Structure 1
Amino acid sequence: MSGDTGPVAAATQPDSTNLHKYDLEKGTELRFEVDADPVVVRMVSGKGELFGTELRIEQKYTFKKGDKVAIFTFHGCKLKLFGKPEVQYVAMETPMTFYINLSNALEGLRVQAETQAQSGPNVLVCGPSDVGKSTLCRILLNYAVRSGRTPIFVDLDLGQGAVSVPGSIGGVVIEKPADVEGTFQMTAPIVYHYGHSTQSINPTLYDLIMGALAEAIERKKQVDNSVKYSGIIVNTSGWVQGYGYQSLLQAIKHFNIDTVLVIDQERLFSELSRDLKNNNNTKVIFTPKSGGVVSRTREFRAESRDERIRSYFYGNITKPLYPYSFDVPFSQFVVYKIGSPNLPDSCLPIGMRAEDNSTKLLPISPSIELRNHLLAISCATNNTTEELSKAIVSNVFGFVAVTNVDMERQVVTVLSPQPRPLPKNSVLLFSDIQFVDLE
């Protein structure tokens, strides 16, 4: 689709250098998707923003394969786009006015909280897959920061890993708007290990670490008033049926949510309105999705997870990182897996119930099967049985990836963001999430 949309945008056809010019009127949005070659955008005049982050005049922004971009203007702007996007068009109708009004309402609650020395708004964004939950969180966080606030972003989406890596949940204080070409600056996040890409594998563990994360955030609020008044924005997964729905109710309870934003699904909105009707402190708001949101394939999701893990170790083009690779002797390599399958009742004597093994720590001997798996480094230690038991609900220092297991030399080779050695007496927690290091 070309950039020519009649009276809304004056666009020229791409010339030999693949240049597209756009003159956007107020309240319109330029949307495009990058398929292969990078696309460069430069704002010539006016004011525009990408998901709440303002673009600077004459600065070039480069978008890579897989990026889905929506540049909105409240007042009008002129843009130049260089490259061949897979899709490009100007949208005359967007939900951005709704989003800014929503942000203004949340800011009003923050002002009220500051005046009364209370906690600011706790917002949870939910909805099925591919409706723009992460994008709405980014917009609301950016607007809050631009208003001088420092909200906490909580990510409960195990498959995405926006705060750390897939298979974990976490929270981080947001102090600056997100980079136009990237994401937020993640300074000192608090992260909890789960080890799977969906909460259905171990619901008991998922509920436990949600509760632990909520308690840690509450402690942060008690010692930092600016964070307390700014509130939190919680992102959730796209699983909204069965236990997915139950986990939403658990999250609302754990994080004392007072505003639930339901994107684009009336059934979910109706169910939450019904189940929360007796909770006078929680409002459920039906929220429109952007017309630019598109469905993602399973292959794209897998590629996105790999890219997220790769960026954890190696950074990106603008901010490269240089991880370390070193060997760890088997004698210093203590790995545990959380949970094991419960015995079926048919295998037990009549009248006995199976023991819940979902939060048991099971030691894993080093073997070739560990190769390419992520391991979380727990803040708990293995000094005592009591300390070891805390690993389940303790936050983590970070993650390493097993790149090789040498059974003859009795060493494991790991890829790590930090140089050797691993923290003394550290507890390593096994993750089903895999990463193949091709660097």
Structure 2
Amino acid sequence: MIVGPCDVGKSTVCRILLNYAVRMSRRPIFVDLDVGQGQISIPGTIGALMIERPAAIDEGFSQEAPLVYHFGHKNPSSNSTLFSMLVQQLANTVKERLEANKRTRSSGVIINTCGWIKGAGYKQLINSAKSFEVDVIMVLDQERLYNELVRDMPNFVKVIFLPKSGGVVERSKSVRSEARDQRIREYFYGSLKNSLYPHSFDIKFSELKIYKIGAPALPDSCLPLGMKADDHLTKLVLLTPNAGILHHVLAVSFSEKDDDDIILSHVAGFVCVTNIDTERQTLTLLSPQPKPLPNNILILSELQFMDSH
């Protein structure tokens, strides 16, 4: 697991290690827990990908059949209860894949994390390390974090300190935000070298179920008996399509059922709401593939994409 503050080169170290592994004929699994930038899928998700060949300089790793879970925020602190649940779910699924594939099991897993390392973010790192049962943690650029992990991790976990590379550049908020938009744009339209042609179609409100994860908090006095105060963070709320979801990204769930299974199911892909017609009761969706959608259960993301094509 690679950890450290923002902009110290964690993603680059992951890429270098994965490239080395592939060149040694290994088939490692890359796990990305950085919801802010999203290397495996779009921002607002966590995921895993089996790496079979080195990353191309401009395109990154080949994105065939990634395993993606929808979180829907660009910072784990927006809903750390949900984030922990998804990390555990992803860890369980990755373990199953390792059990099933001998070559991958011997190649191991390389985990990228986000730059949130203080307070609840530090707890989240410890939690992720336990979920994935990591045995090596590389700490970039921050000795305090290194010392805390040496203190708090079990003895069998090797914690290594690495100074950041001289070529690392700090990015401003606006640059990060632009990078997020660019990731979403590439999801629909591809890159200069590899253009994609998404589809746009109308779909009736009645043909979809749109959910949001997380309801407004209730004061303790209003909670049903036995319900914990943070249970609302992982509550499914069915939405009536409205102007508030315009330009939002929606995840297409693989879930078969209308229950909590939706929260922990991985997703088939993403669509973006480009128009809402309340009179005709239709949504216009931008989608990587034509109608019909693989499933009618969609989950709202806080991430937005203004389609300027």
Tell me the TM-score range normalised by the shorter chain.
Answer: over 0.9
Structure 2 matches for 1:220-299, cutoff 5 A?
220-276=97-153, 279-299=154-174
The structure carrying a bigger strand percent of its residues is: 1
What is the CA–CA distance in structure 1 between the aligned matches of 2:228 and 2:155, rounded to whole Å? 39
Q: How does 1:125-164 map to 2 (within 5 A)?
A: 125-164=2-41
1:421 equivalenced with 2:292 (yes/no)? yes
Q: Which amino acid aligns with 2:116?
A: W
Distance in 1 of aligned mates of 2:175 and 2:308: 18
Which position in structure 1 is the counterpart of 2:96? Answer: 219
What CA distance in whole angstroms lies between the structure 1 residues aligned with 2:25 and 2:279? 57
Question: What is the Cα deviation at residue 409 of structure 1?
Answer: 1.4
C-alpha displacement of 1:230: 0.5
C-alpha deviation, 1:322, in angstroms: 0.9
Residue of structure 1 in register with 2:308 after alignment: 438
SS in 2 for 1:262: strand
- The answer for the alignment partner of 2:181 in structure 1 is 306
Letter in 2 for 1:222: E
The answer to whether the aligner puts 1:330 opposite 2:200 as a matched pair is: no
Q: Deviations over 1:97-133 (max 9, x none)?
A: xxxxxxxxxxxxxxxxxxxxxxxxxxx0000011000
Q: Secondary structure at the match of 2:255?
A: strand
Matched residue SS, 1:402: strand
Higher normalized contact order (CA 8 Å, seq sep 6+, divided by chain length): 2
Q: Distance in 1 between matches of 2:234 and 2:223?
A: 20
Q: Report the Cα offset of residue 222 of structure 1.
A: 1.1
* Amino acid aligned to 1:315: G
Q: Secondary structure at the match of 2:275?
A: strand
Amino acid at match of 2:16: I
What is the identity, as a one-letter code, of the residue corresponding to 2:202?
D
* Aligned equivalents of 2:134, 2:222: Cα separation in 1: 42
1:204 aligns with 2:89: no
Per-residue CA deviation, residues 212-252 of structure 1 (Å, 9 max, x unaligned), is 10111111111111110100110000010011111100110
Residue equivalent to 1:369: 244
Identity %: 52
Post-superposition offset of 1:182: 2.3
- Structure 2 CA distance for partners of 1:355 and 1:316, relative to 1, 3 Å: closer
1:60-90, CA deviations, whole angstroms, 9 ceiling, x for partnerless residues? xxxxxxxxxxxxxxxxxxxxxxxxxxxxxxx
1:352 and 1:268 map into 2 onto residues whose CA distance is 35
Q: CA deviation at 1:381?
A: 2.5
Unmatched tracts of structure 2, length 5 or more: none
> Which of 190, 206, 214 is equivalent to 1:315?
190
One-letter amino acid of the counterpart of residue 401, structure 1: C
Please identify runs of 4+ aligned residues in structure 1 that moved more than 3 A.
Answer: 345-349, 351-355
Structure-to-structure mapping, 1:386-425, within 5 angstroms: 388-424=259-295
Q: 1:353 to 1:225 in 2, by over 3 A?
A: closer
* More helix by percentage: 2
* Separation in structure 2 between the aligned mates of residue 203 and residue 429 of structure 1, nearest angstrom: 18
For each residue in 1:175-233, what CA deviation from the matched residue of structure 2 results, as whole angstroms up to 9, or x when unmatched? 11111222111110000011101111111110111011011111111111111010011
Q: CA deviation at 1:354?
A: 3.9
Instruction: Tell me how large the CA RMSD over aligned residues is.
Output: 1.7
Amino acid at match of 1:244: G
TM-score (norm 2): 0.96
Matched, 1:344 2:216: no
- Equivalent residue letter for 1:148: S
Distance 1:280 1:326 in 2: 56
Larger CA Rg, structure 1 vs 2: 1
Alpha-carbon distance in structure 2 between the residues aligned to 1:207 and 1:347: 26
* Per-residue CA distance 1:151-194 (angstroms, 9 max, x = gap): 01000001011100110000000011111222111110000011
Q: Distance in 2 between matches of 1:225 and 1:345?
A: 49
Deviation at 1:348, TM superposition (A): 6.7
Deviation at 1:324, TM superposition (A): 0.7
SS in 2 for 1:320: coil
Aligned residue pair count:
309
Q: Secondary structure at the match of 1:392?
A: helix
Amino acid at match of 1:402: V
Distance 1:359 1:163 in 2: 24
Q: Alpha-carbon deviation of 1:355?
A: 6.5
Instruction: String of CA shifts for 1:237-295, please: whole Å, max 9, x gaps.
Output: 0010011111100110011100000001000001111101xx12211000121111011
Distance 1:429 1:146, change over 3 A: same
Identify unmatched segments of 5+ residues in structure 1. 1-123
Three-state SS of the structure 2 residue aligned to 1:196 is coil
The residue aligned with 1:117 is: none
Q: How far does residue 343 in structure 1 lie from its aligned partner after superposition?
A: 1.6
1:303 aligned counterpart, secondary structure:
helix
